[in-house]
Amino acid sequence: MARKTPARKKSRSKKVRRICIMTGGGDAPGLNAVIHAVVNRATRTYGWEVVGSEDGFEGLIQAPRNGKVVPLDRQRVKGIAMQGGSILGCSNVANPWAYPKKHKDCTRYFDMHRTMLKHIEHHGIDAMIMVGGDGSMSMAQKLWELGVPTVGVPKTIDNDLAGTDRTFGFDTALHHATWAIDALHTTAHAHDRVMIAEVMGRHAGWIALHAGIAGGADIVLIPEIPYDVKRVIRKIRSLGGRWSSYGLIVCAEGAYPGGGRISVKRKAGKQVEGLVGHQAKLGGAGEHLRSLLAGKIPHDVRVTVLGHIQRGGSPTPFDRILAARFGSAAVDLVARSGFGRMVSLRTPHIVDVSLSEVVGQPHNVDPTGEIVEVARSLGVEMGA
């Protein structure tokens, strides 16, 4: 059950003295804003020390002498809230339960979680704040089950994490994607082409759907609605005369034709204790669609893959503020021993939910939901 986070808490915890924050998984705009908020809330309100684990779990897996668990104070985080990336670094491979090590020509995976627990004790860490997506929240849940006081902060540009209305990073990615689609309109018009913009999102179509509507796309293809290429062709052929026959398609990286498969560049790696060592790397959805359209429409078709542009750059004001709210609320959650939970946006309030309600429960686009119906009402072809 969601629970509203109370107003600012004045009393100091008698048990917590030092907390550790880490930014796991892929990077997302707003990570530094969370770090900034956590450090300021923890030091100003509760008088705690804050340290950061560099490169996700890597800092806690490595020996303490390597210096990858670093002190964070207000001076260290001053001015970072508007910066992209993470001053602590990120890692989507430093999995303590399936830690990769190169051995000759292959990679082997080792269970390093006991080493990590020893290092948490060595550094005098009383509580963990883990910032990340579904994979990081899975590990946060496992840490909590092992007895490590842990709270989660939801982060992903894909907006596919359950338990929260919005994750920070999504708004910035949407901004970048919309800007790119706006730019593609002019070159598509100039050459009377069909332009396919492939955007991120993995198995969720939030970026594609929102950017497609905002950018005035003719066709939007998302994983939640397998598409019929005949409908796509029919839509392109229905476009106007000489001055408006160009087309703009926004294709999520996880989109695929009905009866077909998701385009994958790299298969998923070893799965250990319910955690994937390497997720499948999606890619090629735009090129696959182009091949299906070849010779069937009177247009030259070009594909633009936006890729990591969507992850980069300074966070939007919305993401900075949401990240600051999450970071502050996470510290308050630690103060009242609300471990095993994740802070969450239930508009307009910041609340907290059990990690067990979040893990393995993807937040996908509802194919019959209001935002899809809005797209259809604007004449956007959804492929089915």
Q: Which residues contact 207 (CB under 8 A, 6 or more apart)?
A: 157, 158, 159, 170, 173, 174, 177, 199, 200, 201, 252, 310
Q: At what angle do helices 206-214 and 370-377 cross, to 10 degrees?
A: 30
What single letter denotes the amino acid at residue 37? Answer: A
The token pair that represents 86 in the structure block: 């993470």
Query: Which one of 27, 55, 134, 158 is the catalytic residue?
Result: 158
SS3 188: helix
CB 327 within 8 A of CB 33: yes
55 is catalytic: no
Q: How far is CA 68 from CA 33, 51, 58, 63, 109, in A?
A: 21, 10, 8, 8, 21
Rounded Cα distance, 370 and 19, in Å: 41
CB atoms within 10 A of CB 300: 12
DSSP annotation of 105: T
* Beta pairing class for 301-305 and 194-199: parallel
Active site residues: 158
